[in-house]
Structure 1
């Protein structure tokens, strides 16, 4: 029994000593020393990024004025063309009914001309002998000349229906030519494809799309929370995913008056004129981001945003200001714009104040075993 008592006594004494040493060690840690920062004068730009793409300012679609089959294509996508350059030729496949009607019109015009010719020649002889009046002769001559013109028109219409143009015409409907100068972006048809003419009831088949790649615009979308801060003429900075380490200047030219709901958020379309440097090739459809300066303040008092604290009850911002050696007091502040790094101080602080960096953490100290392990590694 005495041995058990002695063992129990030793255990109690050892436990007490260990607890005392732990308490002393725990309370021997040095107090945390907080760093301070002084407010300073700087400028803040509040930016927003709009995603979109770069497209030509104007794209012109070339459509045929007559239906038929693509007989030959003379250009390729990417070629530079000038207004009037021949792009393709269409082979006309005439409508049988229209062709037959036109041929009948030609035959009727020939019959009418023959009859008018006979009447005119017979009455011409009578006029020369003074049998008929000058007015009757002029009327017969007019009828004969009209019959000649009618036959000419009927034959021309017949050739247009059959071949697509009157014989010898330099601007034949079968010749598809560029209407503007630029780059051929797309030729969506191939030789042998059937095309439909453009008219009041049909847009027609697009044979080619032409655009000037020297005049590009940025087309993107911004959220409804930021569209109210946009102004026509404000500068944009465009970055392209296909061209790294290069920025392009742009000017906002259009903000849509109506938004479109996408994934629960209302988005507004914007456009900006992009300045393209000489020697830089920008292809239509490049994905792009536009950086917009929504708000800017110059020469204002600011502090790092990480120094701010917010009241749990009112959510109003405040900071802790040094009033002595590692002594601080709370001070409410009024803040302005922020770029996520620094924030504007409207009131509550001066440049002479020292603001506590309240959220600083102590450096982590490794134990002896961990230090040995790291040393061995």
Structure 2
């Protein structure tokens, strides 16, 4: 009798322990929610990003070829000027004095030439009748030709002085806008060794360009006439358009990073772009419009074993793939046969698969993928518009499962209860 009681007590203790484990310690299986999305149609592209500076297409530095003190300035920053318009003047007193001095030298040389010419004519007549020697005749001829050369030298010096005087007037070589003025009235400019820059004029600021630095890893995808969009810090809400115009072959190295200067044309009809602005550039290397798109993460989804309890999982991986997985490396046979088998193996290994939901069935489908920007992937074939492509799954907690059963979204934030 006592043994029977002990057995009953042991059974009761065991049942109590099982009940405690079942209700309190058992790890409850979390419900699984599948995330699906239908294919959409839109634009997909690959791009290269870079930074650069906005610059005018053509600029001209205006300087002076003579030294002097700046006496007048007729143009300032942002002034619109025409070709041949007077921008400034140097003090002309010394230059005019040089012109006057050379005029006097020319007059003296011409007077000397007249005198020596008359002397030579007399000597020539005397030499013909034998009144003077050959030496006197040659000496007079020398003085006459030297006087002629003196006139030519004085005339050249006068032309040089007059030319320098004309350089005192500084004119605009093009139609454009003055970007910078480097001098002020009363300032002395010296043109002894190099031409000083007085003004910088942009030819046409309605047509700008961006000098972007593209990394060597990306430059291979960049080509002429590709579409470009860029933004500047001054107008963060505006997007400016342009095109790749030139890829310069000279590399620039900074901190062991090689970049190539890429010139991008940028229309500036609204005059928002200003020289020197920093541009964040996006170069569209490949673009496709109105193509079928699915999320890129759908290509990486694979169902686990827990989903087979709720869904019928059907995988349709090609038998060839299984054959290649289990087979030994390709050996023997001709070289062409080995090459063809290797190509088939690579083609199977590169195949893309997605999973679609059809009611309570999860079906694996083979698709052909085109462009992939790591966010969306282009589907060339293998899917229809109305199929539900599985992009992922989530395991819900008790609270999320209860919210899902009550009709509210388990992924929405819940209001705190007081």
Establish whether TM, by shorter chain, passes 0.5.
Answer: yes
What residue ranges of structure 2 are gaps of 5+ in the alignment? Answer: 1-9, 130-140, 303-324, 326-348, 401-412
Question: Deviation string for 1:97-142 (max 9, x for gaps)?
Answer: xx8xx96x87875654444334556899999xxx99xxxxxx9999
Equivalent residue for 2:277?
286
Change (3 A) 1:23 1:328: farther
More helix by share: 2
Change (3 A) 1:280 1:362: farther
Conservation of the 8 A alpha-carbon contact between 2:39 and 2:294: yes
Conservation of the 8 A alpha-carbon contact between 1:309 and 1:317: no
**C-alpha deviation, 1:55, in angstroms:** 0.9
Change (3 A) 1:19 1:197: same
**C-alpha deviation, 1:149, in angstroms:** 6.2
Equivalent residue for 1:251?
243
- Give yes or no for the alignment of 1:374 onto 2:416: yes
Conservation of the 8 A alpha-carbon contact between 1:310 and 1:317: no
**C-alpha deviation, 1:45, in angstroms:** 2.3
Equivalent residue for 1:214?
206
Equivalent residue for 1:21?
23
Equivalent residue for 1:169?
none
TM-score, length-normalised on structure 1? 0.70
**C-alpha deviation, 1:24, in angstroms:** 6.7
5 Å-filtered alignment, 1:55-94, equals: 55-91=55-91
Equivalent residue for 1:47?
47
TM-score, length-normalised on structure 2? 0.64
**Greater mean deviation of Cα atoms: 349-358 or 227-236:** 349-358
CA distance in 2, matches of 1:20, 1:89: 101
CA distance in 2, matches of 1:298, 1:209: 44
Secondary structure of the equivalent of 2:221? coil
Secondary structure of the equivalent of 2:20? helix
Conservation of the 8 A alpha-carbon contact between 2:70 and 2:187: yes
Secondary structure of the equivalent of 1:252? strand
Change (3 A) 1:343 1:180: same
Conservation of the 8 A alpha-carbon contact between 1:37 and 1:356: yes
Secondary structure of the equivalent of 2:292? strand
CA distance in 2, matches of 1:355, 1:147: 99
Change (3 A) 1:261 1:337: farther
Equivalent residue for 1:271?
263
CA RMSD of aligned residues (A): 4.7
Change (3 A) 1:207 1:13: same
Change (3 A) 1:281 1:295: closer
CA distance in 2, matches of 1:19, 1:126: 145
**C-alpha deviation, 1:176, in angstroms:** 1.4
Equivalent residue for 1:5?
none
CA distance in 2, matches of 1:322, 1:156: 94
Count of matched residue pairs: 337
Conservation of the 8 A alpha-carbon contact between 2:206 and 2:271: no
**C-alpha deviation, 1:208, in angstroms:** 0.6
**Greater mean deviation of Cα atoms: 112-121 or 59-68:** 112-121
CA distance in 2, matches of 1:298, 1:347: 16
Equivalent residue for 1:321?
356
- Give yes or no for the alignment of 1:344 onto 2:378: yes
- Give yes or no for the alignment of 1:296 onto 2:338: no
CA distance in 2, matches of 1:141, 1:13: 144
Secondary structure of the equivalent of 1:257? strand
Conservation of the 8 A alpha-carbon contact between 1:83 and 1:178: yes
Conservation of the 8 A alpha-carbon contact between 1:183 and 1:210: yes
Equivalent residue for 2:173?
179
Conservation of the 8 A alpha-carbon contact between 2:116 and 2:144: no
Question: Deviation string for 1:322-376 (max 9, x for gaps)?
Answer: 3651x4355555533123432123455454643323233536838xxxx999333
What residue ranges of structure 1 are gaps of 5+ in the alignment? Answer: 1-8, 133-138, 166-171
Equivalent residue for 1:168?
none
Equivalent residue for 2:388?
354
Secondary structure of the equivalent of 1:328? strand
Among 195, 205, 219, the alignment partner of 2:196 is 205
CA distance in 2, matches of 1:263, 1:188: 33
